[in-house]
Amino acid sequence: MAWNVFKFCTWLRCLGSIMIIIVLCLVGVTYYVVVVANYGPTLLLHGSITAFLILFLFHALLAMVLWSYFSVVFTDPGHVPLNWTPKFDEEKGSDDHADLLPESAVDGGQTQHCKIRYCRKCNHFKPPRCHHCSVCGRCILKMDHHCIWVVNCVGAFNYKYFLLFVLYTFFGTTLVTVSLLPYFLIFFTDEEISGSATTIILSFVTFVLNLAFAISLLGFMILHIILVIANTTTVEGFEKKSTPKWHYDLGWKKNFEQVFGTNKWYWFIPAYSKEDLRRMPELQGLEYPTQFDVESLQKL
């Protein structure tokens, strides 16, 4: 009997509450350093316009970061409907059944050329661009990856929210890094440092952490911008290398709209208009029951 190392991936789900607490603690420490310890008192005592602008931008970005973050956490990335089966071409008869192969029976990028795909782990058919997540233990529509930071899979219905979370977190950490730079540089001068030892240490650590996050998120953001423009997920990036032409590439504009929707008012918030939600390409051909409300897909 073969030893399946991926079954141990399900233990990563135990990190759920811990990772959320870690994220909230990082946000809390940053809030204390920027607002309570440094720029809040500066604004109250000196009426600094710079302090006001930093605090305004910080709170605006923080609100978007938390909104996007919890949208990713609590939004189901997309699942295959129970007992879903693909349509068979009756005129071709048994020819279509030649494509009913488990993923393990198909090598590398050839899986994407199968008309009908079957997941041996879930024991059911799965639509195009759907992949099995070893952590969640189920098939995810247009799966990108499983992110331990958001304690959820990133797929069809929360990929946009994930991208917004990365974008706003990058801008937020960059703002914190720039605003705390003077407090960081003062460590390397002979100037006297005011404030308690705890505040001084937290300011130093917060600057270093936010700088590290900003640098890492910049590369991560560039990667996903390239993926969105090419209409490719992280998982499909490996499949794309084995095909001469990526058949999901519709041009950068339509590729962008497939992720962010066509309604411009919704592009920069973690939400979809009802029209865009119902027109998602990942829903086409899934044959949900007529009483099925597509919005319930986004609720865990």
Q: Is 265 exposed, middle or buried (0-12, 13-18, 19+ CB in 10 A)?
A: exposed
147 is catalytic: yes
Q: Is 28 exposed, middle or buried (0-12, 13-18, 19+ CB in 10 A)?
A: exposed
Q: Is 297 exposed, middle or buried (0-12, 13-18, 19+ CB in 10 A)?
A: buried
Which of 130, 136, 147, 153 is catalytic? The answer is 147
Nearest to residue 224, comparing CAs of 157, 165, 138, 284? 165
* CA atoms of 61 and 238, how far apart (whole Å): 34
* Distance spanning both ends of the chain, measured CA to CA: 35
For residue 79, give the DSSP letter.
Answer: B
| Maximum C-alpha span of the chain | 85
Question: Do the beta carbons of residue 236 and residue 128 sit within 8 Å?
Answer: no
**How is 117-143 classified by DSSP, letter by letter?**
EEETTTTEEE-TT-EEETTTTEEETT-
| Segment holding 258, helix H or strand E | helix 252-260
| Residues known to be catalytic | 147
